[in-house]
Amino acid sequence: MARQTRKLTEEQCKSAWIDRKKAILGDGGGLYLRRFPTSYSWVFIWREDGKRREIGLGGYGNKVSLAEARKRADRATRHIAAGRDPADAMFKVRQLFYRTTFEQLVRIFVRKANRGTFSHKLRTDYCNMLLRCCKTIRNMKLSAIKDSHILHDLKNIKQNEKLVKFIKFRIGNVFRWGKWNGFQTSPDMASIVA
């Protein structure tokens, strides 16, 4: 019989925060919600060569929801199945997050996501138009970009409402694609990435 996964509900997680009785709650598949003195955090626990290993997946609450923790645990499980260390993979993702600028992400997105859909000239025009409209965030690291920075850029092109919607949609596409491919955005990007 297979082990049960997805045992926790959002309500149980919230009540654990209020009750503070249990030190650890298991969701199955190696995902746990662990209580610390002042907070709760998601951890992924697995065995490798007979030794227990664990990595943190982020703090519970406004940082990492139950659904996001499950996605991260699934990603860690896939790394283990492929023979890779999930801790190393998480470290590489964090490095990408802290080193990559918006301009670099746009160029990667245009090169990889739209290959075969658009000609080279259209991809280049798309990239240049986005970067021309996003002067504030162009050279910012992904970890530093907030909604307010993007809204500032959108205010600069407010004379054309259709263009503002188009640019906001395209910025959202870039960040969503980046998030799906390991380029995590800051928590303040929720309204753009959603």
What pLDDT shows up at residue 20? 60
Answer yes or no: CATH 3.30.160.390 is held by domain 10-93: yes
**Per-domain residue ranges of the chain:** 10-93, 100-193
The β-bridge partners of 43 are 32, 56
What pLDDT shows up at residue 194? 47
What CA–CA distance (Å, rounded) separates 186 from 169? 18
What pLDDT shows up at residue 2? 45
The CATH code of domain 100-193 reads: 1.10.150
What CA–CA distance (Å, rounded) separates 95 from 136? 22
Q: Which residue has the tokens 């970009």?
A: 145
What pLDDT shows up at residue 122? 81
DSSP string, 57-90: EEEBTTTB-HHHHHHHHHHHHHHHHTT--HHHHH
pLDDT in tens, the chain (194 residues): 345 566 777 777 777 655 566 678 888 888 888 877 777 888 898 888 888 888 888 787 767 788 888 888 888 888 888 888 787 776 666 556 567 788 888 888 887 766 666 777 888 888 888 888 888 888 888 878 888 888 888 887 767 788 888 888 888 888 877 776 667 666 556 555 44
